[in-house]
Amino acid sequence: MDPESYVRRILHSRFVDGWRKRRLREFLSDVPPDRAGGDEAATATDRLTLQGALARLTPAQRAVLVLRFYEDLTEHQAAEALGVSPNTVKSQTRVALQRLRDLVPDAVASFEGVES
């Protein structure tokens, strides 16, 4: 037997075994996963609806909402980033959330309890 072809066969087999082991495998469990598969279409629709409502806000109102809720900055940090007073951030946030409530009442539920 040719030792070179034997070694090639071993290398090939080891490579394929490693490839098979790296594949993602599904294991059965008694406990359901933390997160169930949701309705992706509804999530996309909600996201597009909220995106459209955000587009109807002024740039300052959008900036305040992004800094306060997406970037999770405090009122003082957002005011410093925008170059305005903390009271301006508070009032812009209040006005922007009220406008979103008027435009898309169902989508604002994710912001409820954060600021009124």
Domain map (residue ranges) of the chain: 55-116
Neighbouring CB atoms inside 10 A of 69's CB total 17
pLDDT of residue 105 exceeding 90, the answer is: no
pLDDT tens-place string over residues 5-37: 888 888 888 887 776 666 666 677 777 767 666
Rounded Cα distance, 69 and 63, in Å: 10
Tell me, yes or no, if the pTM score tops 0.75: no
- CATH class of the 55-116 domain in this structure: mainly alpha
